[in-house]
C-alpha cells in the first residue's frame, strides 16, 4: 500500500435521481449506468489523487436521497472534510431542495466543512429548468463554488471532485499543509474558503 499525505472524507448529497451515484462511478471507475438504481443507505468508493506534490486519498461516500434514509445517512456527515451537493438542472425541485440539504449540513457536519454545488445533467441543456446564472449566484451567496457536470457525457466530473479536493487542501491550516502526515486522517478545524465559479 502506498503512503498518502492526506486522507479526506468526501460526502455526496442531494435528492434522489439527480445522478449522485453516476457522478461517483464516473469519477472512481469511469462507469455510467443508464438505468436508475436508487442507493440504499450509502455507497463507498476510494480514489487517490494528487494536489501539487501531495498524494491525497479520497474516501467518498454516496448517500441515498430518499427521505426515509436521512436518519441512516446523518451519521456520515461527521468528520467530513468536503461535501458535494448535487441537483438536476432539468428538475427545479431538486435545486429548490438544496436549501434543505444545506440545513442537514449545518445540523450534522462540522462548521468548517468545505461545500461544492454541482448542477448535474448539463448534457440535457435543452431541458434546463435552472439557469447557470441563477445557480452560480445562489452558490456564491452560500460561500460555495458552482460547477455543472454530466456523468453521462463525462463533462467536468473530474473537475468537480478535484475542485473540492483542492479547496479542502487549501483550507487546511498552514502548519498542517507543510507537514508530512504519514497517512494520518486529518480531522482539523479549517476556515471556509470564499465562493467563486470554476466553470
Across the range 71-98, mean pLDDT stands at: 91
β-bridge mates for residue 146, sequence order: 117
Across the range 121-133, mean pLDDT stands at: 98
Query: What's the rounded Cα separation, in Å, for the pair 115 and 144?
Result: 6
Pinpoint the alpha helices (H) of the chain: 20-29, 70-73, 92-96, 98-108, 132-141, 157-170, 174-178
Closest Cα to residue 89, out of 14, 12, 196? 14
Whether the per-residue pLDDT at 120 is higher than 90: the answer is yes
Give me the pLDDT at residue 177, please. Answer: 67
Of the pLDDT bands very low, low, confident and very high (cuts 50, 70, 90), residue 163 is: very high
Query: What's the rounded Cα separation, in Å, for the pair 53 and 62?
Result: 27
Domains of the chain: 6-178 (3.40.50.300)
Query: What's the rounded Cα separation, in Å, for the pair 184 and 199?
Result: 32
Give me the pLDDT at residue 74, please. Answer: 75
Question: pLDDT tens digits for 11-69?
Answer: 999 998 999 999 999 999 888 767 555 544 467 889 999 999 999 999 999 876 555 45
Grid cell locating 142: 452560500
Whether the per-residue pLDDT at 187 is higher than 50: the answer is no
Give me the pLDDT at residue 174, please. Answer: 76
Whether the per-residue pLDDT at 121 is higher than 80: the answer is yes
Q: Which residue has the cell 456564491?
A: 140
Question: pLDDT tens digits for 165-184?
Answer: 999 999 987 767 655 444 44
Across the range 82-96, mean pLDDT stands at: 98
Chain center to CA of 131: 20
β-bridge mates for residue 187, sequence order: none
Amino acid at each position: 500500500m502506498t503512503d498518502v499525505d492526506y486522507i479526506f472524507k468526501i460526502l455526496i448529497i442531494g435528492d434522489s435521481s439527480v445522478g449522485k451515484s453516476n457522478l461517483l462511478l464516473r469519477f472512481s471507475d469511469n462507469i455510467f449506468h443508464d438505468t436508475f438504481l436508487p442507493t440504499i443507505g450509502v455507497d463507498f468508493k476510494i480514489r487517490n489523487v494528487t494536489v501539487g506534490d501531495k498524494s491525497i486519498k479520497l474516501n467518498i461516500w454516496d448517500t441515498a436521497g430518499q427521505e426515509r434514509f436521512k436518519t441512516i445517512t446523518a451519521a456520515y456527515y461527521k468528520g467530513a472534510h468536503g461535501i458535494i451537493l448535487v441537483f438536476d438542472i432539468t428538475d427545479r425541485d431538486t435545486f429548490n431542495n438544496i436549501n434543505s440539504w444545506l440545513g442537514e449540513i449545518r445540523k450534522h457536519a462540522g462548521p468548517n466543512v468545505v461545500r461544492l454545488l454541482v448542477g448535474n445533467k448539463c448534457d440535457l441543456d435543452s431541458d434546463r429548468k435552472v439557469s447557470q446564472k441563477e445557480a452560480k449566484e445562489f452558490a456564491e451567496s452560500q460561500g460555495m463554488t458552482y460547477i455543472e457536470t454530466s456523468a453521462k457525457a463525462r463533462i467536468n466530473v473530474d473537475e468537480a471532485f478535484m475542485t473540492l479536493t483542492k479547496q479542502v487542501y487549501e483550507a487546511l491550516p498552514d502548519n498542517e499543509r507543510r507537514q508530512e502526515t504519514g497517512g494520518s486522517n486529518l480531522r482539523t478545524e479549517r476556515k471556509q474558503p470564499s465562493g467563486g465559479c470554476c466553470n
